């Protein structure tokens, strides 16, 4: 599988998935320039997938449409994504080129955020990050916890393609929460080595995230034991634990 993250801005990734003939599927192109540089004079892409409306994920679409007029732009139902030519909703099956994806509504980061899962790959935008999760700009803790729980239920060998290179900073927070987690220490060491070599820490796998990401482990005794003293109160259930963990992360400085 020819799956590549194209760096954009300070820490964004635009994902490209290419078929055997070199035709690409583009995911969350916040900037047209990296895409045009990578695809060059190659074949016309199959389509663009958009996970949510934020400018760093959709801002490059107009430039790409100037290069490839009529290119399909597939996005969730949200009027703020004005460039979409096709709207999709939760549970729909989507055929793009040789690939088939399922649309998963994942509100939390935004109210209309969607992820795309298929061919063993998850394009999760800003819902799930390696060792972290997105900020709650529009959704509630209950919504985001449910969205993450839904993604965590996918097969462990799922290749996780996140929208940002946040893993090193997320590792510092995860280690503060769960310092006794051996798998997390291994992942943090791997991340440090990759970044030192100038390499992306993504994609990751869902099995790795289930073992290491504290936001997928709020029911774990060690994680819960760390949250309560920081919150300064008794934690009542997984959603309360997730909300307290997210607030902790919002104010965390390594």
Check if 109 is active-site. Answer: yes
Choose, from 53, 109, 113, 145, the residue flagged as catalytic. 109
Check if 46 is active-site. Answer: no
Choose, from 57, 113, 145, 240, the residue flagged as catalytic. 57
Choose, from 56, 113, 145, 178, the residue flagged as catalytic. 56
Check if 54 is active-site. Answer: yes
Give every CB contact of residue 114 below 8 A, 6+ residues apart in sequence.
51, 52, 75, 76, 88, 90, 103, 104, 105, 106, 125
Give every CB contact of residue 246 below 8 A, 6+ residues apart in sequence.
133, 135, 136, 141, 144, 215
Check if 145 is active-site. Answer: no
Nearest 10 degrees: Cα torsion 103, 18, 99, 109: -10
Choose, from 52, 53, 113, 145, the residue flagged as catalytic. 52
DSSP state at residue 164: B
Check if 10 is active-site. Answer: no
Check if 52 is active-site. Answer: yes
Q: Determine the Cα–Cα distance for residues 115 and 124; give it in Å rounded to an integer.
A: 5
Check if 113 is active-site. Answer: no
Choose, from 46, 113, 145, 164, the residue flagged as catalytic. 164
Choose, from 28, 31, 126, 240, the residue flagged as catalytic. 126
Q: Which residues are catalytic?
A: 52, 54, 56-57, 109, 126, 164
């Amino acid at each position: 599988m020819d799956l590549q993250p194209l760096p954009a801005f300070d820490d964004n990734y635009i994902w490209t998935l290419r078929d055997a003939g070199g035709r690409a599927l583009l995911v969350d192109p916040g900037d047209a320039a990296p895409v045009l540089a990578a695809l060059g004079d190659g074949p016309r892409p199959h389509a663009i997938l958009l996970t949510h409306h934020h400018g760093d994920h959709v801002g490059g679409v107009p430039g790409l449409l100037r290069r490839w007029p009529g290119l399909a732009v597939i996005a969730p139902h949200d009027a703020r994504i004005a460039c979409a030519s096709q709207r999709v909703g939760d549970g729909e099956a989507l055929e793009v080129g040789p690939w088939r994806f399922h649309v998963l509504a994942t509100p939390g980061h935004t109210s209309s955020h969607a992820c795309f899962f298929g061919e063993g790959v998850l394009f999760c935008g800003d819902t799930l990050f390696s060792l972290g999760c997105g900020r709650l700009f529009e959704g509630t803790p209950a919504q985001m916890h449910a969205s993450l729980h839904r993604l965590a239920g996918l097969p462990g060998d799922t290749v996780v393609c996140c929208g940002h290179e946040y893993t090193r900073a997320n590792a510092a927070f995860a280690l503060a929460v769960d310092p006794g987690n051996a798998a997390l220490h291994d992942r943090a060491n791997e991340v440090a080595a990759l970044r030192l070599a100038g390499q992306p820490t993504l994609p990751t796998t869902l099995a790795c995230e289930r073992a290491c990401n504290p936001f997928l482990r709020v029911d774990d005794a060690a994680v819960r034991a760390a949250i309560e003293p920081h919150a300064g109160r008794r934690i009542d259930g997984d959603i309360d634990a997730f909300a307290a963990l997210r607030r902790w992360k919002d104010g965390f400085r390594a």
